[in-house]
């Protein structure tokens, strides 16, 4: 037994020694793990990035280019302008242009009417256009086809028309106000008659309204043309190129000029002018099945003139307001005081179909 006890004692002592060593913090040398060196971490980061790029590339190949465009392309769809209030018969003539050269911003849903003032020289179109341009919602751009390159062929004409009606014309005042009517002056001899079929087709497609403005008294128109030619000759001699907006003093000087008419060819001249205008109106009117046409007449009486101007504003769908012009009328006297050889002219036209021009008032039709 003693031997057994003697053998158990070392075992118990060993257990005590183990317990002591376990409780002693110095029994084991526990060191913190070493940090990875910086180059190793950079290598791991680079490999992670390469793996990420590789995975993204494989995903993109599976999606394809169309799928990518669907992911990254976000289109902002603007709400269209409300046309429900426009009567069906007028939808063709209501436009919402989107200029390329600038933004209409708050005016983008303001409906715009397209128009063209069709006329001939010395018919009062310049005076009429200044009246329209005094309205804050109307922008008329003058004789845009006075330059030959703009009317050289139908392609040039249509390109010019597109710029005007898209509000991208350089001289357009539509950039300053919410324009409700945009147009210009077009003389019959500025490519209009020569291309009337294509022009009317364009007017029908774009919903352009035409205002025909012609002078009833062709004799007065002829006298005005001769006076205008005389005025231009004087300006060329003096080296000036002032626009045809005369002061009262200048108008008084020009009114003193009395042209001498060639009575031998006078009847033929009036006939040619009359037939030219009638043919132009017939071609434009008969060909254009949906072309809106209004004929306006300006009388010297103020009330009648005011009413006719209001009719034009109603035709263009713009608010009524008083219109003003800086133009000064040059010839206010009777024809007998404007023509140098009046007696010869009277004898040449008396008894002809044009004798009514001798004493007729100067109305515009």
Nearest CA to 364 among 213, 221, 212? 213
Report helix, strand or coil for 212: strand
Confirm whether 205 is domain-assigned. Answer: yes
Q: Which domain holds residue 198?
A: 91-357
Q: Would you say how long the chain is, in residues?
A: 365
pLDDT tens digits for 112-160? 999 999 998 888 888 889 999 999 899 999 999 999 999 999 999 999 9
* Rounded-to-integer distance, Cα 159 and Cα 174, Å: 19
Q: Which stretch of DSSP H or E encloses residue 101?
A: none
Confidence (pLDDT) at 33: 52
- Beta-carbon count within 10 A of 102 CB: 11
Is residue 72 over pLDDT 60?
no
Total domain count, the chain: 1
Confirm whether 223 is domain-assigned. Answer: yes
Confirm whether 2 is domain-assigned. Answer: no
Confirm whether 29 is domain-assigned. Answer: no
Q: What angle do CA 135, 136, 141 make, to 5 degrees?
A: 75
Is residue 263 over pLDDT 50?
yes
Beta bridge partners of 213: 119
Confidence (pLDDT) at 295: 47
Output the CA–CA distances (angstroms, integers) from residue 47 to 37, 111, 326, in the order listed. Answer: 16, 61, 80
Confidence (pLDDT) at 346: 95
Q: Which residue has the higher pLDDT, 232 or 11?
A: 232
Q: State the average pLDDT over residues 155-167.
A: 95
Is residue 289 over pLDDT 80?
no
* Rounded-to-integer distance, Cα 268 and Cα 262, Å: 11
Is residue 1 over pLDDT 50?
no
Percent of the chain with pLDDT over 70: 66
Q: Is there a contact between 327 and 245 (Cβ–Cβ < 8 Å)?
A: yes
pLDDT tens digits for 18-67? 444 444 444 444 445 555 567 777 777 778 777 777 777 776 666 565 55
Confirm whether 21 is domain-assigned. Answer: no
Q: Cα-flanking dihedrals φ and ψ of residue 78, to 5°? A: -80, 150
Q: Which stretch of DSSP H or E encloses residue 142?
A: strand 138-143
Confirm whether 19 is domain-assigned. Answer: no
pLDDT tens digits for 232-243? 776 666 665 554
Confirm whether 26 is domain-assigned. Answer: no
pTM of the complete model: 0.70
Nearest CA to 207 among 113, 105, 329? 113
Q: Is there a contact between 341 and 273 (Cβ–Cβ < 8 Å)?
A: no
Q: Which of 4-8, 233-237, 313-317 has the highest mean pLDDT?
A: 313-317
pLDDT tens digits for 175-211? 556 889 999 999 999 999 999 999 999 998 898 988 8
Confirm whether 307 is domain-assigned. Answer: yes
The CATH number of whichever domain residue 351 belongs to comes to 3.40.50
Confidence (pLDDT) at 161: 96
């Amino acid at each position: 037994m003693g031997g057994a006890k003697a053998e158990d004692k070392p075992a118990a002592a060993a257990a005590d020694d183990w317990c002591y060593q376990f409780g002693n913090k110095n029994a084991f040398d526990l060191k913190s793990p070493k940090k990875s060196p910086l180059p190793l971490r950079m290598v791991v980061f680079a490999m992670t990035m390469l793996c990420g790029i590789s995975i993204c590339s494989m995903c993109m190949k599976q999606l394809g280019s169309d799928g990518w465009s669907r992911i990254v392309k976000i289109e902002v769809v603007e709400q269209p302008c409300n046309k429900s209030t426009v009567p069906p018969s007028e939808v063709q003539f209501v436009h919402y242009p989107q200029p390329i050269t600038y933004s209409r911003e708050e005016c983008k849903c303001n409906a715009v009417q397209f128009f063209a003032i069709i006329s001939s020289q010395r018919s009062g179109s310049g005076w009429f256009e200044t009246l329209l341009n005094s309205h804050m919602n109307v922008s008329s751009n003058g004789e845009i086809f006075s330059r030959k390159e703009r009317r050289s062929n139908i392609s040039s004409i249509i390109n010019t028309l597109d710029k005007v009606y898209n509000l991208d014309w350089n001289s357009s005042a539509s950039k300053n106000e919410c324009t409700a009517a945009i147009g210009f002056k077009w003389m019959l001899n500025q490519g209009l008659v020569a291309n009337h079929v294509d022009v009317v087709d364009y007017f029908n497609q774009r919903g352009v309204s035409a205002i025909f403005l012609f002078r009833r008294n062709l004799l007065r128109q002829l006298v005005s043309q001769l006076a205008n030619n005389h005025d231009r000759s004087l300006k060329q001699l003096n080296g000036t190129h002032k626009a045809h907006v005369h002061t009262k003093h200048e108008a008084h000087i020009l009114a003193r000029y009395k042209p001498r008419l060639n009575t031998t060819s006078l009847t033929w001249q009036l006939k040619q002018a009359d037939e030219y205008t009638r043919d132009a109106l017939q071609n434009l009117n008969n060909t254009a099945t949906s072309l809106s046409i209004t004929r306006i007449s300006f009388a010297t009486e103020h009330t009648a003139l005011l009413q006719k101007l209001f009719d034009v504003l109603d035709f263009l769908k713009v608010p009524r307001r008083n219109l003003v012009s800086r133009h000064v009328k040059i010839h206010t006297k009777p024809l007998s005081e404007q023509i140098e050889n009046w007696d010869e002219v009277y004898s040449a036209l008396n008894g002809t179909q044009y004798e009514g021009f001798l004493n007729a008032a100067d109305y515009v039709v």
